[in-house]
Structure 1
Amino acid sequence: MSKKVRIGCGAGFAGDRIEPAIELAERGRLDFLFFEGLAERTLAQSHLARLQNPALGYNPLLERRISAVLPACRANGTRIVTNMGAANPLGAARAIAAAAAHLGFSGLRIAVVQGDEVSSLIDPAMTSLETGEALAKTGRSMIGANAYLGAEAIATALAMEADIVVTGRVADPSLVVGPLVHSFGWALDDWHRLGPGTAVGHLLECSCQVTGGYFADPGFKDVDELAFVGYPLAEVDESGDAIITKPEGSGGCVTRLTVKEQLLYEVHDPAAYLTPDVTADFSHIAIQQAGPDRVHVSGARGRPRPDSLKVTVGFDGGVLAEAEISYAGPGAADRARLAMEIVRLRMERLHRCSDVIRFDIIGMSSLHSSAIADPAPSNDVRLRAAMRTADAQLGQQLLAEVEALWIAGPAGGAGARGRLVPSIITQSVLIDRALVKPQIEMVEA
């Protein structure tokens, strides 16, 4: 029988549930368990956290996640790979070592992948992929810049007999491709295997999206036991073909439809999905039901990887001021519109606000406000006002103006609340991959 690797996803975003990861660690018979917890906004927030405390900057749930799964992983010989190091992978490794010691584990080898932080390589004249203008046009101070690393450093760390690999910014599918490269000995230019491996990583990376979570739509796409939806795992063979499944008895489902939806999630071009490892081609993939909650995926292809790496550049965005108040009963929408106009006029004329304020009347098709000219009236709405500003005092004034609507009118306002939080903005650039030099440091626990 040909060798197969079993790899499961223990998190698909920074705040994902922990219990399904424990289920995978205990019952998944896994070779590898990976945690994907690093969106672009999350990484920028991690930079802010590290600026406030140099010991922080990694995922706040890191210790809880690792402590929850480590006993089962050690008992079952499962190795862990995660990007929860965020803006401070070395700090994350030290936190893991402390958590392991608290649990009574010793002899743990924790590999730290660094080198994704490339602020020194960023030129303000670089062109933003989002705006087409120079980064300098933002007029804001940079707080960090991270390149999307690939699978190579992860595979190298595993070859160094790491029990846990902690990274900062790597491409999400690379968290799976790295263990596959290590396990099967794939060459780093074996595009015909790296393409299928990337498909597996992409299918797993968002945890329960592929097991029915984001898929569920009552009456149209019903999913059983969604409250206890399980996380996915893949049984991967040496060619990169795989069975996508989940722990037996867990909630949710794995079907051709859940796999198809996740395959196309956030993919700009299914025939040319660009990653640091490969240009993956999903356009010829075959998706076949292979049993209850078991889907066979084959036929992905690959071409040479891009010469450039994507870099997320985070900038200080000042503060985000956000305030809300509700209106109910007959004429609720009209009263909310009047409240909106009151706040707008007072901010412009009294407080000389030139920053853009976004207003939403939630309950009146606010998510589709640009597409629906005259939404249906509602007897229960909530006015939301939000503003990003460099002037914290002005942001506080927006919160005060919305709160004042409580008695300053119009009638029936209730449930006012507001918050003022540090804000970040991100833009992306491309840099020559040859300039980025990943490094690996081993921490013993």
Structure 2
Amino acid sequence: MTASATTAWIARDAAAVWHPFTQHATWVEDRPTVVERAEGPWLIDVDGRRYLDGVSSLWTTTLGHCHPEVNAAVTAQLAKLDHSTFLGTTHTPGIELAEALIASAPEGDGPELTKVFYAGDGSSAVEAALKIAYQHSHQTGRPRPKFVRLEHAYHGDTLGAVAVGGHELFHATYRPLLLETIGVPSPGDRALGEHRTEIAVDELRAAMRSQGDEVCAIIVEPLMQGAAGMLDHDAAFLRAARELADEHGALLIFDEVATGFGRTGRMWAAEHAGVVPDLLTCGKGITAGYLPLSAVLAAEHVYEAFLARPGDTAPRTFFHGHTYTGNPLCCAAALAGLRVMAEQDVVGRAARLGERLAELLEPLAAHKQVAEIRRLGTMVGVEVRPNSDRTGFEVCQAARERGVWLRPLGDTVILMPPLTLGEAETGLLVTALAEAVDEVCS
């Protein structure tokens, strides 16, 4: 590649590509990174420059890029079976992965999760869970058309997932198209003050008392609302949500697309609270960041409502799915990733990495231009005080000049590195961020 490779590729991109969550009026002048290859925690651009992947390629890469054991598993699967429909047939990696996910499922207050329904990404897993919850209500009594959601929530970008979101920047335009929902305050909302958990629980209780017989499900991002800027909340809220869902005959859905697979220092965020939902959605890290796959883990009592019974006048089948449901290559990557996580205690390593990040970030928390640092495990949000319309973006650009690739959510800079990040790279991650904050915000 020549020194002008990045410029040439950006020009070609601008002429042909429409990127997600991107304002293309400023795309070229923002100097996007053109990634050519990756290894371990590093992204390498078309000019050979190396960047530490500080956000795990949008929160997906758990073991680092191009892990040899995952590479080998996908290659071996490709030589045997590339794809076979999951409608009317099945295959061994899909069965084995379902067994592994069930074996890893959280335990505690709530039902046992015993079935796996595959989807393609986080949004489609949430979409499936919402449809399951509504159809479940229809087949176990009467239709309940409403969902309870949290303010500031983000569950994806398909219309059902948007409906149960609460992030106005992403969702306001589509409100006329959406399902009927009941919004309650987020227990992580700092504007509610130190009693935010109690306020959120009281509002949830009031909503269920007034409209609970119309609610088919409560949906929550357990303990950390990622796209809201890493708003963490107390486990007491999850325990209250479990109790209120049971009291009013609603299902409880945990969206663990971002929080699952070790991100919080536990396999599932639900484990911090000792609470099990009726439906658990997962994605992102499920394939170690390799291939698009997601899933809904369902309780047996939910699954049983979809089994045909003598005398039924209407089918109970869940008429939902897509062409690439349970793709064998995706399942092979997921199985290999889970195997490496178990053999190398990656969840334990993630917990220790989270504590190390907390130690290294402590001086930055005292910076006069840092409003707050929020963290759970390896999920970190560093909220900076704005001094322009794009302060968070400018901090990330300054970090990139120091060899670290980050992406902000507004003025909250996100750190979510691979769970196996080494000590030297962890130091680089925090040092680059601290220097970038100094440069942009001082």
Structure with the higher fraction of residues in strand conformation: 1
TM over 0.5: no
Which structure is richer in relative contact order (CA contacts within 8 A, separation 6 or more)?
2
Structure with the higher fraction of residues in helix conformation: 2
Larger radius of gyration: 1
